[in-house]
Structure 1
Amino acid sequence: MVGVRERFVAAGPLRIWSEAVGDPELPAVLMVAGSAAQGISWPDALVDRLVQRGVQVIRFDHRDTGHSSVVDFDAHPYTIGDMARDCLAVLDGHGVDTAHVAGTSLGGMIAQWLAVHAPHRVRSLTVMSSSLMGHDPSAVWARAQVGEPVDPDDLPPPSPAYLTHLAAELPAGIESDVALFRVFNGPVRPFDEKAARSMLELAMSRATDPAAAAHHHRAVWLDDPSLLAPLSSITAVTSIVHGDQDPIYPLGHGEALAAAIPGAVLQVVPGMGHVMTSPGLPEEVADLIRL
């Protein structure tokens, strides 16, 4: 990669690690990673492809991941809205007034928050492998985990393969993470285990406190009235990128997002699961990000 610029930015009392790639004079794409994921979870191939499309790419470590500050969650609990404000701090730290915003999974919900609550900062919106930011999945998950029938009036539950993996309760570590990413990848496209393992090992090596990333799962369940704002208020041009093999958020979640956001275009990626761990997929997804 060329033109790489690393810096820490201030988000209130926190220090957020960030990296910009490409010409700083070009429009920016802010990449918002998913739950417990560091900025380096965005594949270099995807970043390079975006730079080739004529933008600079900014990726960063969420609070409680990678090189960014670790939070005492019990003393200072935070919400998805707080994580979204970290994104604004990253843009400010790089001197970027407006950016194309692309987020995946939890990052997709954070991206929705930005488009709703800070529309003047969002040039375009791409939501990948995600769900509606205000949707409460607790009932769906509870029914699925005890084998009850799917509620036809709610969004679809995670896949049986993912629920089986959760029930196995494998010991924490790289091997468990690789096994999880194999499930995330889905059964259709080939799983690039070498690439997944390399990314996960790098993430482990650069984490100040690997256990702190679990705080994101707690943040998701905290009440946050700002998440209930209607997605119909989003004015940014929007693309929904969703795999038809997503084991966490089956395609119905992407379809619901596209229906909720005015003018949103749904891009269904055949065979894609919840991550980009299949050869060629990072470049394919990069070409679908709205610029």
Structure 2
Amino acid sequence: MTAGGLRLWTERIGDPDHPPVLLIMGSAAQGITCPDALVIRLVERGAQVIRFDHRDTGRSSVVDFDAQPYALADLAADCLAVLDGHGLATAHVAGMSMGGMIAQWLGVHAPGRVRSLTLLTSSPMGNRSGDLPPPAPEFLAHLAAGLAPGVESDVELFRVFNGPVRPFDEPGARAMLERAWARATDPAAARNHDRAGRTFAPDRLAPLSSITAPTTIVHGDQDPVFPLAHGEALAAAIPGAHLHVVPGMGHIFYSPGLPEEIADLIRL
């Protein structure tokens, strides 16, 4: 489907007559990053699941960021285009990491399209104050190591993302990452998401207190990217939000049994 001249890869899993869940992945992440087991569990719960590749990832369009810079609002507009393409006026929205920030943007600026919000391993979209804790040293050390891009580097990144408590499903993560690298039109283009995420505009500073959609925040107590205080800040900012802390969870869902556990926490 298309969005403002872009082509976005998307797929629908489940019965089109069932309540829709839009899955929004994080920075530089393709739609297939979400474990299939999580998607299957949502379908078993009676949902139809919509997932897609952000611009600059997977099979979606590659953008010349210098010529056509974009920001969180543009990535949110892509989400609305995906819903439009599937003929959906509204959906339950579940966003992970940066995807959770995009979900917040939708909850604030497009409330009529959002049935509910589930914010997974995320952080307030407008936070610039520096009053929330920084990433864990292990994550910063991995970035500083400057490993050559590729499957092996990403497997090690996912190992760090997973955290030290729950077992890491390395075979599952590796299989997904191999598929992701094979289907990416331009793997380097995904780095543009970091630039987009650092672009702040007034729309990101809108108060989260204006969100009216029923909201659940799901956060691990071992998240090396956004420590638990980020999830607690979201819960404090959004009226009526429920915070569910997952013991031992890091920043991804690649641990045995975890995809199903998270799927059961997503609002329907």
**Normalising by the residue count of structure 1, what TM-score does the alignment of the two structures yield?**
0.91
Q: Distance in 1 between matches of 2:191 and 2:140?
A: 18
Question: 1:206 Cα shift?
Answer: 0.5
Q: Distance in 1 between matches of 2:265 and 2:245?
A: 10
Q: How many pairs are equivalent?
A: 268
Which of 108, 120, 125 pairs up with 2:112?
Answer: 120
Q: Distance in 2 between matches of 1:98 and 1:173?
A: 37
Which of 218, 221, 235 pairs up with 1:258?
Answer: 235
User: Which residue of the partner structure matches residue 147 of structure 1?
Assistant: none
Specify the code of the residue in structure 2 equivalent to 1:74: D
User: Which residue of the partner structure matches residue 173 of structure 2?
Assistant: 196
Q: Distance in 2 between matches of 1:99 and 1:172?
A: 35
Question: 1:238 Cα shift?
Answer: 0.2
Which of 12, 20, 28 pairs up with 1:20?
Answer: 12
Please give the per-residue CA displacement for 1:105-147, whole angstroms capped at 9, x wherever unaligned.
000000000000000000000000000000127xx4xxxxxxx
Specify the code of the residue in structure 2 equivalent to 1:245: Q
**Consecutive aligned runs of 4 or more in structure 1 exceeding 3 Å deviation:** none
Please give the per-residue CA displacement for 1:83-121, whole angstroms capped at 9, x wherever unaligned.
000000000000001100000000000000000000000
Matched, 1:33 2:25: yes
Which of 232, 248, 260 pairs up with 1:283?
Answer: 260
Q: Distance in 2 between matches of 1:231 and 1:60?
A: 25
User: Which residue of the partner structure matches residue 172 of structure 1?
Assistant: 149
Please give the per-residue CA displacement for 1:18-39, whole angstroms capped at 9, x wherever unaligned.
0000010111000000000000
* Structure 2 stretches lacking a partner, 5+ long: none
User: Which residue of the partner structure matches residue 238 of structure 1?
Assistant: 215
User: Which residue of the partner structure matches residue 4 of structure 1?
Assistant: none
What is the percent sequence identity of the aligned residues? 72
Matched, 1:217 2:209: no
Please give the per-residue CA displacement for 1:147-194, whole angstroms capped at 9, x wherever unaligned.
xxxxxxx10111111111112111111111111100000000001111
Q: Distance in 2 between matches of 1:52 and 1:165?
A: 37
Q: Distance in 2 between matches of 1:163 and 1:32?
A: 24
Structure scoring higher RCO (CA < 8 A, sep ≥ 6) equals: 2
Mean Cα deviation higher: 128-137 or 62-71: 128-137
User: Which residue of the partner structure matches residue 85 of structure 1?
Assistant: 77
Matched, 1:62 2:39: no
How do 1:151-170 and structure 2 match up within 5 A? Answer: 154-170=131-147
SS at structure 2 position matched to 1:76: coil
Please give the per-residue CA displacement for 1:219-268, whole angstroms capped at 9, x wherever unaligned.
01113211011000000000000000000000000000000000000000
Report if the CA contact (8 A) 2:120-2:219 is conserved. Answer: yes
* Structure 1 stretches lacking a partner, 5+ long: 1-8, 141-153
SS at structure 2 position matched to 1:262: coil
SS at structure 1 position matched to 2:57: coil
SS at structure 1 position matched to 2:8: strand
Q: Distance in 2 between matches of 1:21 and 1:193?
A: 25
SS at structure 1 position matched to 2:119: strand
**Normalising by the residue count of structure 2, what TM-score does the alignment of the two structures yield?**
0.99
Please give the per-residue CA displacement for 1:191-231, whole angstroms capped at 9, x wherever unaligned.
11111111110000000000000000000111321101100
Specify the code of the residue in structure 2 equivalent to 1:128: L
Greater C-alpha radius of gyration? 1
